[in-house]
Amino acid sequence: MSKPPLPITALVTALILLLAAALPAQAGAGKKPRLKRVQDTAAAVIEGTGPAYAGRPETLALADEIAQQHGLDRLWVRRTLGKARQVPQVMRLIVPPPVTVPKNWQQYRSRFLEPERIQAGVAFWQAHRATLERASSSYGVPPEIVVGIIGVETYFGRHQGRYRVLDALATLALDFPAEHPRAAARTAFFRAELGAFLKLRQQNGLDAFKPRGSYAGALGIPQFMPSSWARYAVDFDQDGRVDLFDSTADAIGSVAHYFKSFNWKPGMPTHYPVDFDYERMDLETLLAPDIKPTFGVEQFTAKGVVLGALARQHPGPLALVELQNGDYAPSYVAGTENFYAITRYNWSSYYALAVIELGQAVAAALPARAPEAQASSTPSNTGCSASTQASTSAMPICR
């Protein structure tokens, strides 16, 4: 998804952690989670406290541009955007922090792979098992990936963000901080997202002032940006409208559909463990394409990567993914095209591996199901049978 890369993710994560500390998980295993009761929607919305955008010539120019691009009523766009207010916090949060602390995969991982979040994931999976299985059979994306995404993004729907989205997107579209290293590109991005947001609200006859989301304008249970909502969200509970704020089914279907749209390959693992033959190792060449799968198994092996038996049979390209561990040695995995697909949701290999491992941890913590329940389900549960080993997303959970 068109979301900010790692430094922003780190900040979002910090916010999530603060919220998580304030609102501990309530749902226990075997009990249907009452997600709405623990959502942070009762917390005060963060609205713009800076100047209103009405009356500024650039507001009118942008409103007219958006109206023309999206075929919206010009006066409605002008009026709506004019009522938006600048949010000073958003202008601070969008600027990457100075890189003083080295990245640390183990630390990043531990923010998500913790017992309360895993137990909340178990409750989520149990409450929405049929929907997760339907999404898996419809789009070929396994439940643990969808569970991992929703768990990392919003703690299973609880923390969907507190910023009034109209104010946040107007701020980023009209007052993007010039000191940001990619200010021009990001401004263009957020102008497009503001347009997509206004179109979503107007074409569905919805209040543009009501939605709250992340400081960067990500919306709902799966934190879709407005343009992704427009392109990839689906009405998975078939009630006639797409609602990523309150319909968990729509969120589950939309995440799975997103990955199918980004070339998810059903049944393909996300990554394999690697070792190295240090005599032949050509780390520079291996890391040059970053997370883009580029090397066939033979090239990979020739450059010093030692793969296990399953990985040696992998039919497609692989990427050597390096994850730094602060002062300790980095971790490496061989990422497949499905690993890369997860980074299309959020451009970070740390994010992708956290999603994968959280989904696996939740799957592994699911209580064993009664044999008759297993027999009546689709084969996408994550027991330790051979059939589910084939459909699991990453390294087999039961190994």
Q: What's the 3-state SS for 113-135? A: CCHHHHHHHHHHHHHCHHHHHHH
CB of 123 within 8 A of CB of 31?
yes
Using CA of residue 326, residue 327, residue 328, residue 329, what is the dihedral sign? positive
The closest of 230, 227, 222 to 253, measured between CA atoms, is 222
**C-alpha dist (Å) from residue 139 to 231, 253, 256, 290, 397:** 16, 8, 6, 27, 21
Least separation, in Å, of the C-beta of 240 and Ca ion?
7
List of residues contacting Ca ion (CB under 5 A): 235, 237, 239, 247, 250
Least separation, in Å, of the C-beta of 241 and Ca ion?
5
Residue from 133, 144, 153, 193 carrying the catalytic annotation: 153
d(Cα 340, Cα 359) in Å, to the nearest integer? 16
Residues contacting residue 162 through CB under 8 Å, at least 6 positions apart: 40, 43, 44, 45, 46, 212
Least separation, in Å, of the C-beta of 243 and Ca ion?
5
Q: Is 153 a catalytic residue?
A: yes
Least separation, in Å, of the C-beta of 146 and Ca ion?
16
What residue has token string 């990554």? 271
Q: Which C-beta is closer to Ca ion: that of 107 or that of 238?
A: 238
Nearest-CB residue for Ca ion: 235
Q: Which C-beta is closer to Ca ion: that of 254 or that of 346?
A: 254
What residue has token string 């938006």? 84
Least separation, in Å, of the C-beta of 200 and Ca ion?
14
**Half-sphere exposure for 126 (CA within 13 Å, toward CB):** 22
Residues with a known catalytic role: 153
